[in-house]
A and B are shown apart, each in its own frame.
Chain A
Amino acid sequence: QTVVTQEPSLTVSPGGTVTLTCTSSTGAVTSGHYPNWFQQKPGQAPRSLIYSTSNKHSWTPARISGSLLGGKAALTLSGVQPEDEAEYYCLLYYPGARVFGGGTKLTVL
């Protein structure tokens, strides 16, 4: 069974920069896993942020970016704002399946 792992929690100061990562139990994450990233705030539906590793939606803030970093998918938030406090999930594609990571709870403090 494929497992996708994310940091359970991270804390960042307002205005700071933080990188969230997404690891696959099958080996290195590549562009062929088409990493997607989502943000979810309490009581709300998820919101899509990034698709196919680094592509932004029209509503994705410019301070948010996606990349591949050392065999992992990565989501970087620069100039963090209080409204960035949320749960973040990655999604990876596998043959015949898609798998979400367990989520990273980002605290802005």
Chain B
Amino acid sequence: EVLLVESGGGLVRPGGSLRLSCAASGFTFSTYSMNWVRQAPGKGLEWVSSISSGSDYIYYADSLKGRFTISRDNTKNSLYLQMNSLRAEDTAVYYCARGGSGTYIWDYWGQGTLVTVSS
């Protein structure tokens, strides 16, 4: 069974940093691209970042470049999102989602982790 479990969310002050993790199991993690998506309260889905299976290709939403960094550790079956200089508008549920293994497919999603940026 494919499982994606996010962690690391919580309350952080504006300007602070947070590192989210996504623990993957039930599949060969090292052969799949992975994605981060966020959803602000009452709003739609927003793509955050994507990383290829071997970390060769990394993409970010233009609005987040320079503040967020995606990474992965294939030896630990884990995906990460380092978030710096956080703002109130970064408050959202952050989801990790599995991408394709050589295909343009999104299939499995985690349950999400809530990040709240507030003083």
Contacts and interface: CB of A to CB of B under 8 A. Distances in A.
B108 interface: yes
Interface stretch (B16-24, B68-76, B79-87, B109-117): B109-117
A23 interface: no
A48 B107 contact: yes
Contacts of B53: none
B80 to A, nearest CB: 19
Interface size class of A (residues with CB under 8 A): 20 to 34
Contacts of A103: 44-45
B27 interface: no
Contact of B45 (A46, A51, A93, A96): A46
Looking at A47, A48, A52, A87, the one whose CB has the most chain B CB atoms below 10 A away is A48
Contacts, number: 62
Interface of A: 1, 34, 36, 38, 40, 45-48, 51-52, 55, 57, 87, 89, 91, 93, 96-103
- Interface band, chain B: 20 to 34
B104 A34 contact: yes
Contacts of A55: 105
Contact of A46 (B50, B61, B109): B109
A32 to B, nearest CB: 9
